[in-house]
Structure 1
Amino acid sequence: MIEGSSINVESINAPKSMVGIDFSDHLNYWNNNLPALMITNTSFYRNKNYHEPTDTPETLDYDKMAEVVKGVYWAIVNMK
């Protein structure tokens, strides 16, 4: 559990060479020597609808998404 949220969180500090670690928009920042953070639920490994025609609003878990936002907000506000 992350403070400020009821969602379970796993963390990894992985090298750029790890397959899939650069499958998001943060890659453009890395390529320009800017620090970037990726927050993911690894959806394409778990959700058959990801980036498919069936990837529609009713297939999303909005309650879980809200918990992620709350947790990220808490982490940012409480950064040291």
Structure 2
Amino acid sequence: GKMDAAASMIEKAILANPTYAEAYNNLGVLYRDAGSITLSVQAYERCLQIDPDSRNAGQNRLLALNYIDEGSDDKLYDAHR
């Protein structure tokens, strides 16, 4: 469907430019919408490795961490700092 097509386009963008940070954020959003929260967090973290100042990825990561069972209060606090 449309999600698969979007994921394919994002993956092509990443292959063409592995340092395109926003592509990883967008991939994280797709994973989140598909219910793959752990994969979404990994994608947001990759975006933040490339662009530590990405507000979108930072906020999306914090939101996603709230939905992971192991997202303890301490882990969320550390992630927010």
TM-score norm. by structure 2 comes to 0.28
Higher relative contact order (CA 8 A, sep 6+): 1
TM-score norm. by structure 1 comes to 0.28
When Rg is computed on C-alpha atoms for both structures, the one with the higher figure is 1
